[in-house]
Amino acid sequence: MIPADGTFRTPAERARRHDLDALRAVFLLFGIPYHASLTVRPGPWIANFGERSRDFIQLADYLHLFRMPGFYMIAGYFAAMLLQKRPVASYLPSRLHRLVPPFLAGTFLLVPAMHFLLLVETGHPAPLARWWEIMTMVDRNPFEHLWFVQVLLYYTAALAGVVWLFPKLARAELGGEQRALVRWFIPLTLATGLILGLCGLGSLQLERYRYLDNFAVNFLSARYALDYLPWFLLGALLQRIPALDRRFARFSWILFLTGLAASIVVVFYPRLVPFLWRPVLTGVAAICLTQASLGALAHFIHGERRWVKALVSASFVIYLFHEPLIVLATPWLDMLPIPVWPKFILLCLVAFFGSYGIWKLIKLSPALRYIFNGERKKKRAAS
């Protein structure tokens, strides 16, 4: 449990936030049920079960409602933390080494292999020709589930540029107890959710009225970048206000229940909310559920835990490989004479344990760890 005194932001805590590490990994792992649900909900995806259910539309929408906003908020937090400890000249190369190799490996190896193997697996009469047709579609995002790394690269480069231009930002911090911010934490959080929702509405309108063309949406992932930039900035700001940071990591029943109610309305009863107000309500739901998730985890994780360390180290590779495994396992599991929900659960288990097994193999090779996880071999200290 996080102590109520100022020890929360001791030098040790500034160096590592195990609760945030764990939550970031959980948000990445939520990608497994999210993408598995796309195989079962109505409408075409890369691979689909023969039997579909509308329940999985709601499951996918619910998971996506807060997992990516929360992920980018944590990414912004850690980016601000790193820039307190490292100069831009060290921060930027380290982040590029961490993100670029897995991004390129996933884009040019995993995604093309996934599509080709699926065509062969399902007996397409001309797999190579169809594969090339898919790969060269102009209205397709070539990065598939790795768009989030592309967006992280944007934010990383932009943040490094801003701090390079304004060096004082690297260590800027609003210290002290900040009693007013802490006292008004709940209404302040709800107001922030409304602002984030309005930002989401703005990016939706840009796409809706064609201010973002197909190239910007599908190849540049501009819509995603606009959607999640406020969340990334929120995480960076939160890291620079220790008192608010400490309060954000304490569970709030009011925010949890508010987030739960708002998310239920948005996902299960969308007709009760005018179309243009849905992104606004989604912003409130997302920040409340993210805060509740962090508060619950922080209550139990206040130091290094073995399982957290294992989960965090494996999560990126699991995310990298889980979608190809879901796509390739779907035709085989579809042949099982069982209802759709057990198929879905089996698909999630295959994706998780299969990608975790791949991570265990990748760990054996420093070269593979760099290619698929961005891990560089640590230099030995000079004797």
Residue 7 has pLDDT above 60, yes or no: no
The rounded distance, in Å, linking the Cα atoms of 262 and 73 is 20
Residue scoring higher pLDDT (5 or 369): 369
Residue 48 has pLDDT above 50, yes or no: yes
Per residue in 273-302, pLDDT tens?
988 889 999 999 999 999 999 999 887 776
Dump strand ranges (E) for 248-382. Answer: none
Question: Would you give the distance in Å from CA 197 to the centre of its chain?
Answer: 18
What's the chain's length in residues? 383
Q: How many CA atoms lie within 13 A of 146 on its CB side?
A: 26
Residues 6+ apart with CB under 8 A from 158: none
Which two structure tokens, joined as six digits, stand for 161? 């540029």
Whether 262 contacts 66, CB under 8 Å:
no
pLDDT at residue number 197: 93
The rounded distance, in Å, linking the Cα atoms of 266 and 255 is 16
What residue spans of 209-305 are helical by DSSP H? 214, 222-239, 242-248, 253-268, 278-300
Residue 218 has pLDDT above 90, yes or no: no
Strand, helix or coil for residue 136: coil
pLDDT at residue number 138: 80
Q: What values do phi and psi take at 74, rounded to 5?
A: -65, -40
Whether 66 contacts 284, CB under 8 Å:
no
Question: Binning pLDDT at 50, 70 and 90, where does residue 211 land?
Answer: confident
Per residue in 227-274, pLDDT tens?
999 999 999 999 999 999 999 999 999 999 999 999 999 999 989 998
pLDDT at residue number 14: 53
The rounded distance, in Å, linking the Cα atoms of 325 and 346 is 12
From 26-30, 84-88, 212-216, the region with the lowest mean pLDDT: 212-216
The rounded distance, in Å, linking the Cα atoms of 55 and 344 is 12
The rounded distance, in Å, linking the Cα atoms of 56 and 41 is 5
Neighbours of 360 (CB within 10 A): 10
Q: Is the pTM of this model over 0.75?
A: yes
The rounded distance, in Å, linking the Cα atoms of 75 and 70 is 9
Residue 8 has pLDDT above 70, yes or no: no
Which two structure tokens, joined as six digits, stand for 342? 């057990």
Residue 223 has pLDDT above 80, yes or no: yes
Neighbours of 37 (CB within 10 A): 25
Residue 55 has pLDDT above 60, yes or no: yes
The rounded distance, in Å, linking the Cα atoms of 38 and 54 is 11
The rounded distance, in Å, linking the Cα atoms of 25 and 31 is 10
Whether 316 contacts 103, CB under 8 Å:
no
Per residue in 297-332, pLDDT tens?
887 776 667 777 888 889 999 999 999 999 999 999
The rounded distance, in Å, linking the Cα atoms of 51 and 362 is 35
Whether 18 contacts 304, CB under 8 Å:
yes
Concatenated DSSP letters for 67-122?
HHHHHHHHHHHHHHHHHHHS-HHHHHHHHHHHHHHHHHHIIIIIHHHHHHHHHHHT
Which two structure tokens, joined as six digits, stand for 276? 């243009």
Give the type of residue at 228.
Y
The rounded distance, in Å, linking the Cα atoms of 331 and 121 is 8
